[in-house]
Chain A
Amino acid sequence: GAVVSQHPSWVICKSGTSVKIECRSLDFQATTMFWYRQFPKQSLMLMATSNEGSKATYEQGVEKDKFLINHASLTLSTLTVTSAHPEDSSFYICSALPGGSTTEAFFGQGTRLTVV
């Protein structure tokens, strides 16, 4: 199957700093990428949908100024958690949808963010 690489796999940062997470589709072009957040023992909550070359669409309750998403190319989307706080500590997962597809979305390995 297609490969989506997410980096870093884990990161620890201090409160008030920003953290950037990258999501790359390695062997296909992804016109659409999704960013999810998962708290321990909970489901994946969709944060935003990003389409290459356009602004991301954020889900209700997700602060777009805090979670900056950039989808500058067909193989790369980034999520920047700005001014991180301990409550932002979570597992962040991206998924990528091949162009024109409405079937399987391919997931990155996830990034475990801990804000201290």
Chain B
Amino acid sequence: GQQVMQIPQYQHVQEGEDFTTYCNSSTTLSNIQWYKQRPGGHPVFLIQLVKSGEVKKQKRLTFQFGEAKKNSSLHITATQTTDVGTYFCAGRRTGFQKLVFGTGTRLLVSP
């Protein structure tokens, strides 16, 4: 079945440092979404990427969709303590409605 892996599993950074999480799917995706989940909370939608090679920015967050539409990345510039949480990518295959979540990357930011 479809698998979506993320690396790293966990990263601990100092406030102000950059952070990147990588997402790799075993199958080609029609689109990929990114979510953030705070401890004890539910996933909150961040963004969706659809086009091959697409890059989108949201303030300090930069999202990229690979040319082959099988991988994606999320980069946070100058992390802040409010960035703490687990970041999940979630992919959809063409013709399927279901979202398959990646394994997640847990980010801890120390002041």
Contact = CB atoms under 8 A, between A and B. Distances in A.
B99 A46 contact: yes
A114 to B, nearest CB: 14
Interface string B30-53: 110100000001111100100000
Q: Per DSSP, are chain A's interface residues mostly helix, strand or loop, or mixed? A: loop
Contact of B102 (A43, A46, A104, A107): A43
B23 to A, nearest CB: 12
A108 B97 CA distance: 18
B72 to A, nearest CB: 15
Interface string A85-116: 00000000101010000111111111000000
Size class of A's contact patch? 20 to 34
A60 B2 CA distance: 12
B98 A93 contact: no
Nearest to A41: B106
A107 B103 contact: no
Interface string A1-14: 10000000000000
Interface of A: 1, 32, 34, 36, 41-46, 49, 60, 93, 95, 97, 102-110
18 contacts: A1-B45, A32-B97, A43-B88, A43-B101, A43-B102, A45-B101, A46-B98, A46-B99, A46-B100, A49-B98, A93-B43, A104-B33, A104-B48, A105-B99, A109-B41, A109-B42, A110-B41, A110-B42
